[in-house]
A and B are shown apart, each in its own frame.
Chain A
Amino acid sequence: MTLVDMKHGHKFIIDKIEDKDTRLQALRFGISEGSEIECAGSMPGGPVILKKNLQEIAIGRRTAEKISVKKKGMI
């Protein structure tokens, strides 16, 4: 399961971020492998928006496809 399968409101845990640059940039934003994240929206065919507390970041589709997640439950 990857980020692109997440829908608005889904809560999940980041399992693996493949690309090194993305991993480093995400670390700066506060998101790392093992973080608990909420999906705050997803453009059809476009970026996925992640939310951790008040922090929101948008991740492009192709990168999102390469970030695998573990589900935690739905609201």
Chain B
Amino acid sequence: MNDCSQINIDSELQANKKIVLAGNPNVGKSIFFNYLTGIYVSVSNYPGTTLDISSGKMGDAAVYDTPGVYGVGSINDEERVARDFIMSADIIINVVDASHLERDLFLTQQLIDLDKKIIVALNMMDEVEKNNISIDLENLEKELGVPVIPTTAAKNRGLDRVRDSIDSAVNGNSIFSNNSNLGQKLNNIRTAVKNTADALMILEEDENIRCNYPELQNIPDLREEIYTARRQRVDQITNSVLTYDQNTGQFARKLGSYMLKPATAIPMLLVLLYFIYQFIGVFIAQTVVDFTEGYIFTDIYEPFVRNIIASSIGFDNFFGQLLAGEYGILTMAVTYIFGLLLPLVAGFYFLLSLLEDSGYLPRIAVLMDRLLQKIGLNGRAIIPMLLGFGCVTMATITTRLLGTKRERIIAIFLLGLAIPCSAQLGVIAGLIAQLDLVYILVYVLTIFAVYVLAGTFLNKVLPGESSDLLIDLPPIRLPDLKNVFNKTYQQTVAFVKEAGPIFVLGAALITVMQKTGLLALITSLAEPVTVNWLGLPAETATAFVMGIIRRDFGAAGLTAIALTPAQVTISLITLTLFVPCIAAMMIMVKERNFKEAVYIWFGSWITAFITGGLVNFLIF
């Protein structure tokens, strides 16, 4: 985003003023948002990002919740979105984590410097008490020059006072008023632009805002100077208002540090993975999906739709097949999205929200950083990789959070190549469970080896190097369940909206291929590879063709063919590494571009068949 890509936020909400909630990540903004707006909330996607912005009304004012950021700027999507909302706000409620004042007040001071009307909600006062910190509230209010209201949002304390005090928001003490040098420079720009906020962002080297004023010449680059002045000011404030009592050991903090010592952290991670497996792999993938896919959709919904089609347009024509045939968009696509994927994806988001809100996720990122660096990624890539086991399509979208283009290419390729999605895992688990342990080991180790080798290879051949980790470790907390459910719901809805149309399109495409005879043609062309190279019966070619369309289709296709244990292992390895499903492929085109997606696609073909053949000749 190097253009002047700012958004006009004047949505449909009819409002006299705009109230924007702003704060660092994980400070409890959403609790304030929910309290202020009640139930009439709309969630809209911010164009070009995965970010959803919640908006609602409070009286005649519109209230917006923004992504958590450490400062206003344009380092990543979160910051750009938050910046645009903050710059257009009439009043800002700045939610601050009182136990992290040194960090949080940097944003507060920046908001004040932007010359906005501000009220500070000093949240998490319970943690301040628990940690024996004392804060001189009166002095803090005086230093900042804006109202400061102590709250403990998770326990519903102080929320009413914040609501009743919104109109007392004022412009605070800017660092520019006490710094004649910087103040002068700000004034020089101020006269040439719309407002102080724009002037500040221009001095802070914000590309998007500078781009709005192409006529400005010789602008000084003052970001570092301003940041340093701001940091000094914040340190001065915190020194005068904070008193630390030397900390008595606290359970959550000890737990947090155990999560970062390899000797304790690795066993903890393994226990966590076991619970994730039990929840997603056993409870959701089997019990819940058996009910939703097997009963609700396959037994009730699909026959119902087929009856309607049979009695209206009939099955002996193209449209009947397109709507409700073997790959019907009303039958297969709907069952697949709502019966199979929806429960799995919702389950994954639920766990991920829990991990995120508890503060564990960044610690896993720290733990895995060294390993992921070896394949050209950094610790943060653990999030799309974990998500990939739910649905590769969705995980591909979340690779946006990775720092560089290079990391995104590596992550997307590895996701498409060697991370089996939950739908595929379900079928694979069924097939592999019948085999001896040695075959299972061959399967797991081969996939893992390919993942590591492919990552190492890409890391070597792609120019550049992986970006380094620099993340804030939030304290370990008990997540607020209401908030977790809220997030799960919003992300699941976003998934259906994003992936749904693509599945429908994919289903239509298969019907066309089948009707035109293309499917049969490809099957016969592929036969030499399957029989001679992979040592599999000729019919397995059909399974691979199905695999192009959807990988779990392919695996399911294998159950119908009589195979030896070695053949099952080889075909599962090949299928797992085989091309990503059509939905994932389309998302790759959308997220990257057509050329890269095609490279990834053929790269997967080659890797899959070479690996399958090698296992065939070398091991069996």
Contact with B along A28-56 (1 / 0, CB 8 A): 11101000000011011111010011111
B261 close to A59 (CB less than 8 A): no
Confirm or deny: B36 has a beta carbon within 8 angstroms of a beta carbon on chain A: no
- A47 touching B71, Cβ below 8 Å: no
Contacts of A43 in B (CB 8 A): 260, 262, 366-367, 369-370
Cα separation A72 to B100 with both chains bound (whole Å) = 23
Contact A55 B224 (CB under 8 A): no
Known: A20-B224, A47-B379, A49-B260. A55 touches B369 (CB 8 A): no
Q: Mark B353-383, 1 if CB is under 8 A from A, else 0.
A: 0000000001001110110010000110000
Whether B366 lies near A46 (C-beta < 8 A) is yes
Closest to B106 in A: A28
Cβ–Cβ < 8 Å partners of B71 in chain A: 28
- Chain A residues 1-36 with CB under 8 Å of chain B are 20, 22-30, 32
Residues in chain A near residue B107, CB distance under 8 A: 28
C-alpha gap A29/B362 in the complex (Å): 15
Give the chain A neighbours of B367 by CB distance below 8 A. Answer: 43, 46
CB of B224 within 8 A of CB of A23, answer: yes
Residues of B within 8 A of A45 (CB): 370
Is the beta-carbon distance between B366 and A47 smaller than 8 angstroms? yes
Shortest CB-to-CB span from B156 to chain A, Å, is: 24
Bound complex: CA A46 to CA B470 (Å): 12
**Which residues 25-75 in B have Cβ within 8 Å of A in the complex?**
70-71, 75
Does B231 reach chain A (CB closer than 8 Å)? Answer: yes
In angstroms, Cα B103 to Cα A20, docked, is 19
**Would you call A27 and B227 a contact (CB within 8 A)?**
yes
B102: chain A residues at CB < 8 Å are: 30, 52-53, 55
- Would A54 and B228 count as touching, CB distance under 8 A? no
Which of the listed residues B103, B133, B235, B365 has the most CB atoms from chain A within 10 Å of its own CB? B103
In-complex Cβ contact of B468 among A26, A55, A63 (8 A):
A63
Rounded to whole Å, the gap between the CB of B132 and the closest CB of chain A is 11
User: Which one, B308-316, B340-348, B471-479, is touching chain A?
Assistant: B471-479
Q: Which residues of B contact A23 (CB under 8 A)?
A: 224
Residues of chain B from 74 to 101 with CB closer than 8 A to chain A in the complex: 75, 99-100
Contact A41 B261 (CB under 8 A): yes
Residues of B within 8 A of A63 (CB): 468-470
Interface of A: prevailing SS: mixed
For the complex, give the distance between the alpha carbons of A31 and B75 in Å: 18
Contacts of B472 in A (CB 8 A): 29, 55-57
- Residues on A with C-beta less than 8 A from B75 are 25
Chain A residues, Cβ within 8 Å of B365: 58
Determine the interface band of chain B, counting residues with CB < 8 A from chain A.
35 or more
Given the known inter-chain contacts A49-B366, A54-B100, A54-B131, please indicate yes or no for A41 contacting B470, CB distance below 8 A: no
B487 within 8 Å of A (CB atoms)? no
Smallest Cβ-Cβ distance to A65: which chain B residue:
B468
Question: Is B617 located at the chain interface by the 8 A CB criterion?
Answer: no
Contacts of B185 in A (CB 8 A): none
**Among A22, A40, A41, A44, which residue has the most Cβ atoms of chain B within 10 A?**
A41
Q: How far is the CB of B570 from chain A (nearest CB, A)?
A: 36
Given contacts A29-B70, A46-B370, contact A58 B231 (CB under 8 A): no
Interface centre among B99, B231, B379 (most CB of A within 10 A): B231
> Cβ of B240: which chain A residues have Cβ within 8 Å of it?
none
Chain A neighbourhood of B5, CB < 8 A? none
B287 at the interface (CB under 8 A from A): no
Determine if A60 and B228 form an interchain contact, defined as CB atoms under 8 angstroms apart: no
Q: Contact: A41 with B257, CB < 8 Å? A: yes
A45–B472 alpha-carbon span in the complex (Å): 19
Shortest CB distance A25–B (Å):
6
Most central of A29, A49, A57 by chain B CB within 10 Å: A29
Residue contact A59 to B100, C-beta cutoff 8 Å: no
Question: Once the chains are docked, how many angstroms separate the CA of A37 from the CA of B260?
Answer: 18
Interface string of B246-278 (1 = CB under 8 A from A): 000000000011001110000000000000000
Contact A25 B468 (CB under 8 A): no
A30 to B100, CA, bound (A): 10
B244 is an interface residue with CB less than 8 A from chain A: yes
A62 and B224 within 8 A (CB): no
In the complex, what residues of B have CB within 8 A of residue A26's CB?
470
Give the distance in Å from the alpha carbon of A28 to the alpha carbon of B224 in the complex.
11
What are the residues of chain A within 8 A of B378 when measuring CB–CB?
60
Question: What residues on A are CB-neighbors of B133 within 8 Å?
Answer: 54
* B592: Cβ under 8 A from any A Cβ: no
For residue A56, which residue of chain B has the nearest CB? B473
Chain A proximity of B133: nearest CB distance (Å): 8
Cβ distance A4 to chain B, nearest Cβ, rounded Å: 12
Which 6 A-B residue pairs are closest in the complex by CB-CB distance?
A60-B468, A46-B370, A60-B469, A30-B102, A56-B473, A63-B468
Given contacts A29-B103, A60-B470, 18 further A-B contacts (CB under 8 A): A23-B224, A24-B227, A25-B470, A28-B70, A29-B472, A30-B103, A40-B260, A41-B261, A46-B369, A46-B373, A52-B102, A53-B102, A54-B99, A55-B102, A56-B256, A58-B379, A60-B469, A63-B470
Q: Chain B: residues with CB nearer than 8 A to chain A?
A: 70-71, 75, 99-100, 102-103, 106-107, 131, 133, 223-224, 227-228, 230-231, 234-235, 244, 256-257, 260-262, 362, 365-367, 369-370, 373, 378-379, 468-473, 475
Query: What are 30 A-to-B residue pairs whose CB atoms are below 8 Å?
Result: A20-B224, A25-B75, A27-B106, A27-B228, A27-B231, A28-B103, A29-B103, A40-B260, A41-B260, A41-B261, A44-B370, A46-B367, A46-B369, A47-B369, A47-B370, A53-B244, A54-B475, A55-B100, A55-B103, A55-B472, A56-B256, A56-B472, A57-B472, A58-B379, A59-B469, A60-B379, A60-B469, A61-B468, A62-B468, A63-B469
